Amino acid sequence: MEPAHPLVKAPGRSPAVARRVAGAFVLLGVLLLYRAPARFVWNAWLSDPYYAHGLPVFAAAVALAAWRLWKAPRAEASVPAWALLGLPLAGALYLAGLLRADAYLLSWSALALAASVALASGGWPRLRLVGAPLLLAALALPTPWTIQVCVALQDGATAATGFLLSLAGIALERGLTTLTAGGLSFEVTPACSGFQSAVSLLAVGAGIATIFPRRAGLVLALAVPVALALNVLRLVLVVLISLAWGPGAAEGFFHGLSDALIFVAETLLLLAVAGALSRPRGRAA
* 95-144 pLDDT tens trace: 999 999 999 999 999 999 999 998 988 888 888 888 888 988 998 999 99
Rounded to an integer, the average pLDDT of 259-265 is 84
- 201 in helix, strand or coil? helix
* Alpha-carbon torsion (256, 262, 265, 271), positive or negative: negative
Chain-centre distance for alpha carbon 217: 15
Rounded to an integer, the average pLDDT of 271-279 is 81
Write down how long the chain is.
Answer: 285
What does the alpha-carbon distance between residue 56 and residue 44 come to, in Å, rounded to a whole number? Answer: 13
Contact 160, 232 (CB under 8 A): yes
Q: What is the largest CA-CA distance in the chain?
A: 112
The predicted structure's pLDDT at residue 81: 82
Contact 79, 87 (CB under 8 A): no
The predicted structure's pLDDT at residue 7: 47
- 174 in helix, strand or coil? strand
In this predicted structure, which of 7-16, 164-173, 236-245 has the lowest mean pLDDT? Answer: 7-16
Helix axes 131-140, 195-211, angle to 10 degrees: 170
Q: Output the pTM of the full model.
A: 0.74
What's the pLDDT band for 49 if we cut at 50, 70, 90? confident
Cβ-proximal residues to 219 (8 Å cutoff; 6+ apart), any chain: 205, 208, 209, 212, 270, 273, 274, 277
